[in-house]
Amino acid sequence: MLTESARMTTAQELSFRIQEPNSRQRAVKIIALDKPSAAMVDQLAKKAWHGAEFFTSLSFTSDKAPGSGEGEALKAWLGDLAGRTQDLVTEVEKSDFVVVITAAGEDARAVTVISDACQMFHKSLLGLVVPQDGTSEAETEVSLKHLRPHTRMLVVAHGVDYIEVMLTALRA
Amino acid sequence: MLKKEQNDYLCQTGPGTPMGNLFRCYWMPALLAEELPEPDCPPVRVKLLSERLIAFRDTEGRLGLIDEFCAHRGPSLWFGRNEECGLRCPYHGWKFDVTGQCVDVPSEPAESGYAKKIKLKSYPLVELGGVLWTYMGPPEKQPAMPEFEFATVPLNQTFSSKRFQECNWLQAMEGGIDSSHVSFLHRGDLANDPLFKGAAGNKYNLGDLSPVFEVVETDGGLLIGARRNAEDDQYYWRITPYVMPCYTGVPPRGDHPLHGHFWVPIDDESCWAWSYDYHPTRPLTEGEVDAMKAGKGVHVRYVPGTYRPLANKDNDYLMDRAAQKAGRTFSGVEGIGMQDASLQESMGPICDRTKENLVGTDNGIIMARHRLMRAAKALAEKGTIPPGVDTAHQKVRQAALLLKRNVPYKEGAKEALIAKKGVRQTTV
């Protein structure tokens, strides 16, 4: 008589695997950290996604009146493709995980603000560094250095096509 | 998650398939040298990339890998007589040499030249590092011999084994680049296995169950760095090289030999999981070799007379629930190799990736699939030689090291990741 393992691992038995979806739609926020990556995000957003939301700009304002005497706390705002402005903290809170994209050689230091928000709500932060034509390894390394302390997964992605593949694989 | 057509694309390696064509660009391990130990020894059946072949070593020691079936009426040449520089079919006496050339058709006059018109398909078979390698692609595109370090160190510094794995090659290979499972599935073995225990680095694996990953493309494949927190403002990095299409290296532990794998498709529903152990600078000790032969480390114990693991799906992998409950093993299956194989086989002959839910830390797997598909497409459309064929891509080495937190591993481990003759591995 066949053991349970021998029987259950046949292709025939596996055809009985339940066909119902085993996961629900994720809320994935994809944020460009600089202008070149905003162009990539803009391009990606035109594809069909399962609820992923794309943001092409990150800006800051102070929530205290200048000269009020108290320490100024920054508020961060995300700009979406429709030109609307959304509160970063609210968007991170609503997310399942967050992806940041930076073009190698650009200033990626704004990731610290996103990282703080992710930590506050215990969300994973994934970082993608995309080398541009002509960017050096040293420039790529500077971008990695900015992202490294903040991300759970850091990837050097050669081209937008990999970002699309990755987001698809993650059911974004 | 992959679409079904993408999954099929990656998993099918038979003749004429895109991935089959990709695999046929490389030298692949076909047999252990011990399987053809001497001239005129018994021939061995070989199935690779969904092609049935027969391997033999002729009277003069030459190696042959030819179509398994006699060109006359089709019986298997496994029944053949290996004698006088050829394999003779016992049915009607047709005889073939190591190139597949028919050299004798007894029913026809030798002077007729009939035998010269019969030739079986053959592939080169070459011995290197205790392994017999074959190349199954177009002869005019045959690359230089492989230069993976485990195959080029002196024979007393290297040990290879293989195990039959009853699932598609890709789900097996993906286990080799999935560094995060070690802290769970193999945690019992870090303390107990003679080829793993005692390394200073083990405490970091056991102490930090949420490694942070960094994936970088290389010319030949990927580097997958996993970092865990360590004392004195340092990270403990374990760096896994992946060389396309199916070579992986496991980061080292202490002065134990380095190990890793080749994942070679037999057909679409089974593969050979090759496991190697080597030390770059010293002979393996008798104790180490004994442990490897006893199925420790990444090796397994066999059903006697075969390369099928003793613990297999026909005996429920000798599941030991008491050991699982007591924490001696995490899954109840003994041995690192079978812990991996049992779970990978349980996914079914070909894993249904339309149902998987990958997370960010699976980026090594996502990128490996992406690179494989990209390379197969470039080969099909433009004839581009894929990454990993160039022997320079094969001179990589796995590494484990402590680095200050502000030092990137690609920089801090730069020298450690290159295989250099006579230079010891970088390890903790």
Residue B259 contacts residue B276 (beta carbons within 8 Å): yes
How much of chain B, in percent, has pLDDT values that exceed 70? Answer: 100
**Residue A97: inside a domain:** yes
pLDDT tens for B125-139 read 999 999 999 999 999
Task: Provide the mean pLDDT of chain B.
Answer: 96
pLDDT tens for A51-79 read 999 999 888 887 665 555 555 567 899 99
**Residue A124: inside a domain:** yes
pLDDT for the residue numbered A64? 60
pLDDT for the residue numbered B165? 98
pLDDT tens for A95-118 read 999 999 999 999 999 999 999 999
pLDDT for the residue numbered A53? 96
Task: Tell me the residue range of the domain where A118 lies.
Answer: 25-169
Q: Quick check: A141 and B410 CB within 8 A?
A: yes
Q: Quick check: B212 and A145 CB within 8 A?
A: no
CA A113 to chain CA centroid, nearest Å: 14
The pLDDT-based confidence of A129 (bands split at 50, 70, 90) is: very high
B354 touches chain A (CB under 8 A): no
Q: Quick check: B370 and A145 CB within 8 A?
A: no
Hey, which bits of B81-169 come out as E strands? 81-82, 87-88, 95-96, 102-104, 122-123, 125-128, 131-135, 158-165
Q: Which of B143, B124, B148 is nearest to B134 (CA)?
A: B124
pLDDT for the residue numbered B136? 98
Average pLDDT on B337-356 reads 96
Predicted complex ipTM: 0.91
Q: Which of B31, B340, B73 is nearest to B181 (CA)?
A: B340
- Which positions in chain B touch A95 (Cβ < 8 Å)? none
Measured in angstroms, the CA of B349 and the nearest CA of chain A are apart by: 6
CA B36 to chain CA centroid, nearest Å: 19
Tell the burial category of B187 from Cβ atoms under 10 Å away from its Cβ (0-12, 13-18, 19+).
Answer: middle
A136 touches chain B (CB under 8 A): no
Measured in angstroms, the CA of B319 and the nearest CA of chain A are apart by: 10
Q: Compute CA distances A113 → A60, A108, A139, B214, B225, whole Å.
A: 10, 11, 22, 21, 25
Give the count of Cβ contacts less than 8 A between chain A and B.
104
Helix, strand or coil, per DSSP, at residue A34: coil
CA B61 to chain CA centroid, nearest Å: 25
Shortest CB distance from B366 goes to which of A6, A149, A166?
Answer: A166
The answer, yes or no, to whether residue B36 has pLDDT greater than 70, is yes
pLDDT tens for B147-160 read 999 999 999 999 99
Q: Quick check: B212 and A171 CB within 8 A?
A: no
Report the length, in residues, of chain B.
Answer: 428
Q: Quick check: A124 and B166 CB within 8 A?
A: no
pLDDT for the residue numbered A65? 55
Measured in angstroms, the CA of A10 and the nearest CA of chain B are apart by: 6
**Residue A4: inside a domain:** no
- Which positions in chain B touch A149 (Cβ < 8 Å)? 405
Q: Which of A45, A41, A36 is nearest to A56 (CA)?
A: A41
Residue B375 contacts residue B18 (beta carbons within 8 Å): no
Task: Provide the mean pLDDT of chain A.
Answer: 91
Residue B81 contacts residue B74 (beta carbons within 8 Å): no
Alpha-carbon gap, residue B341 to B168, rounded angstroms? 11
pLDDT for the residue numbered A68? 57
Residue B379 contacts residue B25 (beta carbons within 8 Å): yes
Furthest C-alpha separation in chain B? 83
Average pLDDT on B223-239 reads 93
pLDDT for the residue numbered B190? 84
**Residue A11: inside a domain:** no
Ranking A69-83, B4-18, B105-119, B168-182 by mean pLDDT, the lowest is A69-83
Measured in angstroms, the CA of A3 and the nearest CA of chain B are apart by: 6
Please name the residue ranges forming H helices in A23-87: 35-45
Domain count along chain A: 1
**Residue A98: inside a domain:** yes
Helix, strand or coil, per DSSP, at residue A154: strand
Q: What is the CATH number of the domain that holds A73?
A: 3.40.50.1440
Residue B399's H or E segment, with its range, is strand B399-404
How much of chain B, in percent, has pLDDT values that exceed 90? Answer: 92
The answer, yes or no, to whether residue A91 has pLDDT greater than 90, is yes
Q: Is the peptide bond before A21 cis (omega within 30 degrees of 0)?
A: no
How many CA atoms are closer than 13 Å to the CA of B45, on its beta-carbon side?
A: 12
Highest mean pLDDT among A16-25, A128-137, B45-54, B323-332: B45-54
Q: Which of B131, B118, B139 is nearest to B67 (CA)?
A: B118
Average pLDDT on B274-292 reads 98
Alpha-carbon gap, residue B182 to B222, rounded angstroms? 19
Measured in angstroms, the CA of A79 and the nearest CA of chain B are apart by: 24
pLDDT tens for B48-99 read 999 999 999 999 999 999 999 999 999 999 999 999 999 999 999 999 999 9
**Residue A17: inside a domain:** no
If one counts every other C-beta atom within 10 angstroms of the C-beta of residue A79, the result is 17
Average pLDDT on B239-264 reads 97
- Which positions in chain A touch B316 (Cβ < 8 Å)? 3-5
Helix, strand or coil, per DSSP, at residue B381: helix
Helix, strand or coil, per DSSP, at residue A47: coil
